């Protein structure tokens, strides 16, 4: 007899079928009712033990966290809350779980405690739901791009370049950590290192993705990226996953269309496929927010927020318009912003972005055409000579979700920009080649995957939406 | 009018429709016929220019590699080799490509040359086909696991552990490379490093995947892994992608079933979805092999080989049986092997694996139940006390494709093994916890993704199946 999963059994009709199932005990009450879970669904299946016919030594070993193998009959449930249950005929303890020491007791644990026990936290409803949603979103992303003619590309993790410009990098080395070989001038001789030069962990796959876009047309990356920044916040990780599509012959308007369609599509996928987990997380968020003052609570529930994004157009606003709105806003005039917006050219802070999204427009906002000098070297300079075809997509509650741009496709303009920023042409010879041979308009964006998972799960700390977070002073597990 | 892709146009009926298309010139012959490619398919679309109505300055700029924007009519082709073609009404040069300097001329280039120009090599038929197949295999993998109830899990890339035991690791650090902070005893003080301890790039996500399997049931990883080994061969990369499923309540026999079903399913996917690219690569391989002596040529063509794997059962052979076969084999008796098999316990070399697969069984082979002392610490010890429930899957032409095992689920046995191998219990406290709380039989395997791509594309060098290979002395692009 093939083992079933809980998800399969809960969908079956109760026709007193013989079944067997393996899973972990969530709770055992009244020496009679086992709530059994195997990860296949948020739901437990109730297994009813006839304690009079069961060895007492076995009954004692049915504890929270124990792995058990149950044979029995699937029958119509006698109690409330489920349609079917299992009348247990035999139970075999596969692995005990000492109730005195098992960290995941059937009670509410703080997320901090569960982070310290991240190897066990997916044994809770919250984290199993989060990780199932993370998986589902990942699949939705691959599905979207596959159906839309994009090729998945694995850009390199170890890079010999430090010109990507997106932030501080981690060094990757094989040299003796204490006594590295030195050059005559006393500097470290990276020629003796594994790759024959200094190497780092990538901060973005964009530049390499551009090379494939300029031959294969539509490509995307979905891989880990790294920032060696000492940011101990609820929104930053040193290691996170990023999605970066890149498309030849697509301009900034097309880039906005793509990003909006993409975001809506993957969120719709989880609405359609992960209802149960979403409803659980929605309730969790409601319960959490009950402890907060009214003003800090969300106006919409989790599923309402997701539906809102799926159903509404993203508002497209130029940076220049946004500055006007902000300059004339109440918090700016009343000096409630930490950074007062005084003139065009100011870099927008999180407080400004949140004002635009949450107070002013009350919907996802695409800001575009930013001042050139606050954006990266590869962004397409507009005809005005002072703005670039950049875009940021801002989401309620999360802030920046996507950053993208049309790329500078003109060799002379790109070279001038690199020179002004002191970026070595020789290091990016291959990137410049794309502008020498068959250059064309092209665009793309980057989406921080964990930000998307935060939005879709309502989790407030980025460390709780990735299996094993890497942050300053923490690389446990 | 929306721009089309070449793939879309080639599927349309020629009804003199007005169309426009952007792409790159592959060739331009007789001042009349442009072969245009945009990456959406291996095929080019023929665009026929009326040179009498076209400015001569423009005609001169229609060179191999140039990006062009063509407007015209899709019509029935006058010539052979295609059903439809484009009668060009206007052509706009988006980006020139100087024929004097453009590296990718319309002629045969060596793979070595193209590796040096890896940023442009996907502009050739061979590499565009390889990378489309790589993308398609990736999707097939996600699709298979998604349809079979597995959750995708992103295991950490930066690890604080050096106990994974699969090979030499790269150090990840933020300390000053030349003058790192030192402890009083003169050793490097990694407490001052970013993560507060020494960290490395992962060699495997298995141990973390086990934590999720023991709560979510069925999970898999698909991510980059690293080996700091100085292997300059056609089969090794310092950075490569690996797929690692891990399943609770599954034993070694189930693991073999899963691996076989999985491999067949993803290969069937590309047979069904990438016919054109496969046929091109099949012909390429035939042409390449024509230059080789008869004995070195494949007995089957590329598509035949893939079909053979999809259609035939993998042969399951115990290590002990395999040793018997090898001991009595002709090359062993005639001392043609570099390593002569003398007794049970010998580690199998690539020459032995290839003999078993290519000469003896002539099909994919699953070897299992290896001697404990040549396998990793986490593998389940058999009742004989000397073998472990390990398996390797060997493929013709490639050798080891998959390595897996049932995991040691018994705390006492695992601890004894770790002690014997001097693996620190404290470092793997969380891994041991899985055996303390609700332990159960579980199994999984690892598949080197690039080996699979090599098999499916017939490419002979692993550097040619990944966008930007990382190997000793090479981290270009």
Instruction: Please state whether beta strands A158-159 and A199-201 pair in parallel, antiparallel, or not at all (unpaired).
Output: antiparallel
Q: Does the pLDDT of residue A252 top 80, yes or no?
A: yes
Residue contact A437–B119, C-beta within 8 A: no
- What pLDDT sits at residue B299? 84
Residue contact A178–B174, C-beta within 8 A: no
A113–chain B nearest CA distance, Å: 14
Contact list in B for residue A437 (CB cut-off 8 A) is 65, 95, 97-98, 102, 104, 120
Closest C-alpha among B37, B26, B124, B35 to residue B77: B35
Contact B125/A at CB under 8 A: no
Instruction: Give the side-chain half-sphere CA count within 13 A for A13.
Output: 1
Picking from A149, A468, A472, the nearest residue to B156 by CB comes out as A468
Contact B361/A at CB under 8 A: no
Q: Does the pLDDT of residue A74 top 70, yes or no?
A: yes
Q: How far does Cα B188 stand from its chain's mean position? A: 37
Cα–Cα distance, B8 to A313 (Å, whole number)? 28
Residue A166 pLDDT class (50, 70, 90 cuts): low
- Regions of chain B short of the pLDDT cut 50: none
Contact A155/B at CB under 8 A: yes
Cβ contacts of B412 within 8 Å, gap of 6 or more: none
pTM greater than 0.90: yes
The tokens for A426 are: 């020789």
Contact list in A for residue B66 (CB cut-off 8 A) is 438
B399–chain A nearest CA distance, Å: 24
Q: Is the ipTM beyond the 0.95 threshold?
A: yes
CB A52 within 8 A of CB A74: no
Taking only the tens place, the pLDDT of each residue in A396-410 is 888 899 999 999 999
- What pLDDT sits at residue B16? 72
- What pLDDT sits at residue B146? 98
Taking only the tens place, the pLDDT of each residue in A22-65 is 999 999 999 999 999 999 999 999 999 999 999 999 999 999 99
- What pLDDT sits at residue B279? 98
The tokens for A60 are: 């004692």
CB A281 within 8 A of CB A458: yes
Contact A284/B at CB under 8 A: no
Strand partners, A364: none
A357–chain B nearest CA distance, Å: 31
Contact list in B for residue A131 (CB cut-off 8 A) is 151, 153, 212, 216
Cα dist. A471→A57, A238, A415, B188, B193 in Å? 45, 5, 36, 21, 12
- What pLDDT sits at residue A163? 66
Cβ contacts of A254 within 8 Å, gap of 6 or more: A247, A443
CB count, 10 Å around CB of B398? 18
Contact A187/B at CB under 8 A: yes
Q: Does the pLDDT of residue A441 top 80, yes or no?
A: yes
CB contacts under 8 A, A 21-60 vs B, are 22, 24-25, 38-40
Cα–Cα distance, A320 to A345 (Å, whole number)? 9
A361–chain B nearest CA distance, Å: 31
Instruction: Give the side-chain half-sphere CA count within 13 A for A435.
Output: 17
Q: For A289-298, A416-425, B144-153, which range has the lowest pLDDT when averaged over its residues?
A: A289-298
- What pLDDT sits at residue B37? 98
Domain boundaries, chain B: 6-102, 123-168+203-464
Cα dist. B330→A206, B297, B419 in Å? 54, 21, 41
Cβ contacts of A229 within 8 Å, gap of 6 or more: A167, A168, A236, A238
Cα dist. A12→A133, B146, B296 in Å? 24, 21, 56
- What pLDDT sits at residue A204? 95
List the end-to-end C-alpha distance of chain B, in Å, as a whole number: 37
A100–chain B nearest CA distance, Å: 11
Pick among B216, B257, B441, B462 to test the A interface (most A CBs inside 10 A): B216
Residue contact B177–A180, C-beta within 8 A: yes
Q: Count A/B contacts: CB-CB distance under 8 Å.
A: 316
The Cα angle at residue A446 between residues A442 and A450, in degrees rounded to 5: 165
Contact A167/B at CB under 8 A: no
Taking only the tens place, the pLDDT of each residue in A355-401 is 999 999 999 999 999 999 999 999 999 999 999 999 999 998 888 99
A417–chain B nearest CA distance, Å: 19
Picking from B3, B151, B475, the nearest residue to A195 by CB comes out as B475
Residue contact B24–A173, C-beta within 8 A: no
CB contacts under 8 A, B 211-270 vs A, are 211-212, 215-218, 223-224, 226, 228, 230, 238-239, 241, 248-249
**C-alpha torsion angle, residues A189, A190, A191, A192 (rounded to 10):** 80
* DSSP per-residue letters across A362-411: -S-EEEEEEEGGGS-TTBPBPTTSSEEEEEEEEETTTEEEEEEEEB---H
Superfamily grouping for domain A123-168+203-464 = Bira Bifunctional Protein; Domain 2 (3.30.930.10)
Residue contact B182–A180, C-beta within 8 A: no
Average pLDDT, chain A: 95
CB count, 10 Å around CB of B287? 10
Q: Of the CATH numbers 2.40.50.140, 2.30.40.10, 3.20.20.210, 2.70.98.10, which one belongs to the domain with range A6-102?
A: 2.40.50.140
């Amino acid at each position: 007899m093939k083992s079933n999963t809980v998800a399969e059994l809960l969908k079956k009709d109760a026709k007193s079928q013989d079944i067997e199932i393996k899973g972990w005990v969530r709770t055992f009450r009244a020496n009679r009712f086992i709530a059994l879970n195997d990860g296949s669904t948020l739901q437990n299946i109730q297994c009813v033990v006839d304690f009079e016919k069961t060895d007492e030594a076995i009954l004692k070993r049915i504890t929270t966290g124990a792995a058990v193998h149950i044979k029995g009959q699937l029958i119509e449930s006698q109690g409330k809350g489920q349609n079917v249950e299992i009348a247990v005929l035999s139970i075999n303890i596969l692995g005990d779980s000492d109730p005195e020491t098992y960290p995941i007791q059937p009670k509410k644990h703080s997320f901090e405690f569960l982070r310290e026990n991240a190897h066990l936290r997916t044994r809770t409803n919250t984290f199993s739901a989060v990780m199932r949603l993370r998986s589902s979103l990942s699949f939705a992303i691959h599905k979207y791009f596959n159906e839309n003619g994009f090729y998945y590309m694995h850009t390199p993790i170890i890079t010999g370049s430090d010109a990507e410009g997106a932030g501080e990098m981690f060094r990757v080395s094989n040299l003796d950590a204490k006594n590295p070989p030195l050059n005559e001038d006393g500097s470290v001789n990276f020629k003796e290192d594994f790759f024959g030069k200094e190497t780092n962990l990538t901060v973005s796959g964009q530049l390499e993705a551009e090379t494939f876009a300029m031959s294969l047309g539509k490509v995307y990356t979905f891989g880990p990226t790294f920032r060696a920044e000492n940011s101990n916040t609820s929104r930053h990780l040193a290691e996170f996953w990023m999605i970066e599509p890149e498309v030849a012959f697509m301009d900034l308007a097309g880039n906005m269309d793509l990003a909006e369609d993409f975001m809506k599509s993957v969120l719709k996928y989880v609405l359609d496929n992960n209802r149960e987990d979403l409803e659980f997380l929605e309730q969790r968020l409601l319960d959490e927010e009950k402890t907060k003052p009214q003003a800090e609570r969300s106006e919409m529930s989790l599923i309402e927020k997701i539906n809102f994004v799926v159903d509404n157009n993203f508002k497209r606003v130029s940076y220049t318009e946004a500055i006007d709105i902000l300059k004339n806003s109440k918090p700016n005039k009343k000096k409630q912003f930490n950074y007062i917006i005084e003139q065009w050219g100011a870099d927008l802070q999180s407080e400004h972005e949140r004002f635009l999204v949450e107070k002013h427009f009350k919907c996802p906002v695409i800001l575009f055409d930013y001042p050139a000098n606050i954006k990266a070297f590869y962004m397409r300079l507009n005809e005005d000579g002072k703005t670039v075809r950049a875009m940021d997509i801002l989401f309620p509650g999360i802030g920046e979700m996507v950053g993208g741009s049309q790329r500078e496709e003109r060799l002379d303009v790109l070279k001038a920009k690199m020179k002004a920023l002191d970026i070595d042409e020789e290091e990016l010879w291959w990137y410049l080649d794309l502008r020498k041979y068959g250059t064309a308009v092209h665009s793309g964006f980057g989406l921080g995957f964990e930000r998307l998972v935060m939005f879709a799960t309502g989790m407030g700390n980025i460390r709780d939406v990735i299996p094993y977070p890497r942050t300053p002073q923490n690389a446990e597990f």
